[in-house]
């Protein structure tokens, strides 16, 4: 069993993930640019370090959870590769573009390391609860070594295929989610204007052909369906800014392979409009405000 894990990136998601690794018996060497994030990680059982290079020194595995591809590439090439011990396993759980993920993994392999991309599905609450889903890109041996670590932070660890396929799965999934949420909100907004009660529409559609996860697990209408961010003023959950980031990554990937994604493109434009209205920090289900 891998004993010591360096965890770099202790934001809203990474902080909960690192805490779960510590809770499950791993020695966690943590680093973040934020002193507050480091203090929280230390309180959760992690060891505070002063740099990414210090965190990875002597670690059996490195887990990163960073904002974008440029940060991932800079951390690995600038600090991790030069400080990690031979044979260390690298797991990048950030959501980044496929091309950068594959480039960083290739660079890691060239230096004799094993690396997988392992982005997550699930929000802040799932990160804290250890109930994330991991989509993992990498060869069979790397996946086998990664699974025990990722299982300590999630409810499902799924092998998506070769290097970069975890990112591919993530952006395809979230493009579908973004478009489905828009359609769900359209339907509820139209039902209200026609005179159909939201709860009645939910009761019908949730057991009919219009059913979707956006409706039955994450209903965008307050007071309808299971508890969701809509019941808390659209705070918490998965921010509009993050959905917009994933949709932009999906459109970038689609353009690179000449894939037609008209619904994904329309969803991206609507979420961009919502962000421009100052709603970037709200949950992505708040798109219903734009459609009502």
- Residue of 109, 145, 147, 170 marked active site: 170
CA 67/CA 41 separation, integer angstroms: 18
Using an 8 Å Cβ cutoff, are 91 and 150 in contact?
yes
Active site residue 170: yes
268: Cα separation from own chain's centroid: 17
Q: Which residues are catalytic?
A: 170
């Amino acid at each position: 069993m891998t004993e010591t894990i360096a965890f770099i990136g202790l934001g809203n998601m990474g902080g909960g993930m690192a805490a779960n690794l510590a809770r499950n018996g791993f020695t966690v060497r943590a680093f973040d640019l934020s002193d507050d994030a480091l203090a929280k990680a230390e309180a959760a059982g992690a060891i505070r370090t002063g740099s990414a290079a210090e965190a990875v020194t002597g670690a059996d595995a490195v887990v990163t959870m960073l904002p974008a591809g440029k940060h991932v590439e800079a951390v690995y090439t600038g600090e991790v590769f030069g400080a990690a011990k031979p044979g260390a396993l690298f797991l990048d759980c950030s959501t980044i573009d496929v091309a950068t993920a594959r480039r960083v993994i290739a660079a890691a392999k060239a230096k004799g390391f094993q690396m997988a991309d392992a982005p997550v599905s699930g929000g802040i609450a799932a990160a804290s609860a250890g109930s994330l889903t991991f989509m993992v890109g990498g060869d069979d041996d790397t996946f086998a070594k990664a699974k025990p670590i990722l299982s300590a932070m999630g409810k499902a660890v799924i092998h998506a295929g070769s290097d970069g396929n975890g990112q591919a799965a993530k952006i395809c999934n979230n493009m579908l989610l973004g478009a489905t949420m828009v359609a769900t909100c359209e339907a509820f907004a139209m039902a209200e204007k026609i005179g159909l009660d939201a709860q009645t529409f939910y009761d019908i559609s949730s057991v009919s052909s219009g059913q979707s996860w956006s409706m039955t697990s994450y209903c965008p209408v307050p007071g309808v369906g299971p508890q969701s961010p809509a019941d808390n003023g659209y705070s918490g959950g998965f921010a509009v800014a993050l959905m917009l980031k994933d949709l932009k990554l999906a459109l970038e990937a689609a353009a690179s392979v000449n894939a037609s994604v008209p619904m994904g493109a329309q969803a991206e434009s609507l979420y961009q409009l919502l962000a421009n209205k100052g709603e970037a920090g709200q949950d992505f289900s708040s798109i219903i405000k734009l459609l009502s």
